[in-house]
Structure 1
């Protein structure tokens, strides 16, 4: 949720003319995150929305996310609902890019979660997995084995230059290890794929909403759990065991895990750490320009990968 495309008051007013949600009162760019251009917009109907312009996603991928959010919202998940235009379409176009407007949820994001909040986050993730169980559209994992191999090859030389041979050796070693591993068939469905703390809204210790579904795809639910444990619970501190347990207790209070899922988690925690380390390395080595761009530190996920390997 960075700002790569800048919009004026007139631009947004023109976009809103094709909706029935009022006229523009004010707007501001959202600087958190790294994928799309996002703005808070307020209308004369005293409602706040989030306007998103898609910077990386292909146009043919976007309907999946629009219909997924509408499906999850209609099935009781606290997540953004996509606003329909006057012609019932869900996407607008500006300067050759597509965008959407979604409802703005209550609550706020936190920099770090306590154990009660981790429990609530685990419950919310399980609710997401259940709410999406009858969603009929499909999207493959965009960051699977081929993506990993290609992106590691792209960053390897620069990784040696910036972070040293030890980091590059770790990339090679973990990629080789993961390529030799075979997981059993695990329960699968729609996963969020990016449930970091900046994608969860809280009121007190309770999750009030999940946002930013643009990494969603079909994969094992256990992989979603591994991504979220790394992002939310693993702080590389003495309390990590309790924090992981808090999230897992919350998740399993809604959807108990099968034995095979529990057995797969250690491997998936390593794979998830590798995937996000590589993504951050790529963004750090090949940065994109923008008005308000946030690039996240790759070193955090190198340390998390090493923690799981140890």
Structure 2
């Protein structure tokens, strides 16, 4: 007979397993309500403060186990080189652990800091985000671990993407969502103007691939931790740049160019950016992510998906203006 595990039951199971693996006694556990499906707790023990992250079984099916292990190795390499990110704790050389009841989980360093809402970063925080991102890309792609491979994102042809938007338009129309049709028409029209050769497709490398404000902790002006490396793969580092910029600098349909400049100043301490790089990266981010968030059910989005949808709509509406907006960058 199936029964539903409560969060308390899962936590009790993880605590018992941690005591056996690491020998500490948990004195207090506080849930951290961030992220999708996976459960997290800040635990205070007799040997320090840690974070437990449980992997939801349904969500875990979306991961490639081997690539996840490489991502953990990369995170540890970054941590050892001084990048602000949580240290992972292993048991018998394994970072991804299994509890007595078969729950997959990780034990990591607990990092203090504040999550800042999208578009609310100041120039000092955007500068430091640029600096840390540039350093992360430098460390990841110098003496790379895991070697080179094909990038994770394989851009479809313009024809394939046009066909996608036509299908999405038809689906919204068939489901009496005519108010969504202008947004879908905009995606189609912008796709008609896209030339894949304008993207820097030769500039591949290891990237975080989820670098937005929910995965960043700040202490005043500086980043105290970059979080959640689960999606890290060999891909296009420029997509990290674009995701960080749109997440940190877009507020109320306005991209704050002073924040973009602050990010670039920080990033350029470690990696040189050519003129036009930011515009190209933002367009490529739209080309990749727009199909994830803009669809016939986008009116049901809330939380992070709602924010991502707004970002993609803004990018589609401002494709022509990006060049003039960022003409000096």
Same fold (TM > 0.5): yes
Distance 1:179 1:108 in 2: 40
CA distance in 1, matches of 2:155, 2:255: 32
Match of 1:24 among 23, 26, 32: 26
1:78 maps to what in 2? Answer: 84
Report the secondary structure of 2:47's partner residue: coil
What CA distance in whole angstroms lies between the structure 2 residues aligned with 1:153 and 1:214?
Answer: 33
Residue number among 56, 59, 69 corresponding to 1:63 in the alignment: 69
Q: Is the 8 A contact 1:108 1:203 kept in 2?
A: yes
Equivalent residue number for residue 145 of structure 1 = 155
2:286 alignment partner, SS class: helix
- Max Rg structure: 2
Q: 1:97 offset after TM fit, Å?
A: 5.5
Counterpart of 2:283 in structure 1 is 270
1:165 equivalent to 2:181? Answer yes
Q: Which moved more, 1:182-191 or 1:7-16?
A: 182-191
218, 227, 235: which one aligns with 2:251: 235
**Which SS does the other structure have where 1:248 is aligned?**
helix
Residue in 1 that maps onto 2:94: 89
Q: Are the aligned partners of 2:86 and 2:111 in contact in 1 as well (CA < 8 Å)?
A: yes
Conserved in 1, the CA contact under 8 Å of 2:40 and 2:51?
no
d(CA) in 1 for partners of 2:284, 2:297: 20
Within a 5 Å distance, the mapping from 1:94-133 to structure 2 comes to 98-111=104-117, 112-133=120-141
- How far does the alpha carbon of each residue in 1:101-121 deviate from its partner, in whole angstroms, 9 at most, with x for none? 221112221112011110111
From 49, 52, 66, the equivalent of 2:51 is 49
List gaps (5 residues or longer) in structure 2: 322-329
Q: Structure 1: state its 5+ residue gaps.
A: none
> Equivalents in 1 of 2:201, 2:285: separation in Å?
18
What TM-score results when the alignment is normalised by the length of structure 1?
Answer: 0.81
Q: Name the SS for the 1:19 alignment partner.
A: helix
Partner deviation per Cα, 1:58-86 (whole Å, 9 max, x = no partner): 3233211211111111111111121101x
Distance 1:286 1:25, change over 3 A: farther
Aligned length: 299
User: Counterpart in 1 of 2:269?
Assistant: 253
Q: Distance in 1 between matches of 2:270 and 2:30?
A: 37
* Contact 2:129–2:223 under 8 Å retained in 1: yes
Q: Deviations over 1:221-280 (max 9, x none)?
A: 3232112111111225666111111111111123222x3xx3343132022134334323
C-alpha displacement of 1:43: 2.2
Closer/same/farther in 2, CA of residues 180 and 49 from structure 1, 3 Å limit:
closer
TM-score by length of 2: 0.77
Aligned residues: CA RMSD: 3.4
CA-CA distance at 1:123 after TM superposition: 0.5
Q: Against the structure 1 CA distance between its residues 178 and 201, is the aligned structure 2 distance closer, same or farther, given a 3 Å change threshold?
A: same
Q: 2:312 matched to 1:301?
A: yes
* Aligned counterparts, 1:192-231, within 5 A: 192-231=208-247
Preserved CA contact (<8 Å) 2:130 2:263: yes
Distance (Å, rounded) in 2 between the aligned partners of 1:255 and 1:267 = 17
Going from structure 1 to structure 2, the CA distance change for 1:283 and 1:84 (only over 3 Å counts) comes to: farther
Residues 168, 30 of structure 1: alpha-carbon distance in 2 compared, 3 angstrom cutoff: same
- For 1:159 and 1:232, locate their aligned partners in 2 and report how far apart those are by CA, in whole Å: 31
- Tell me if 1:6 matches 2:7: yes
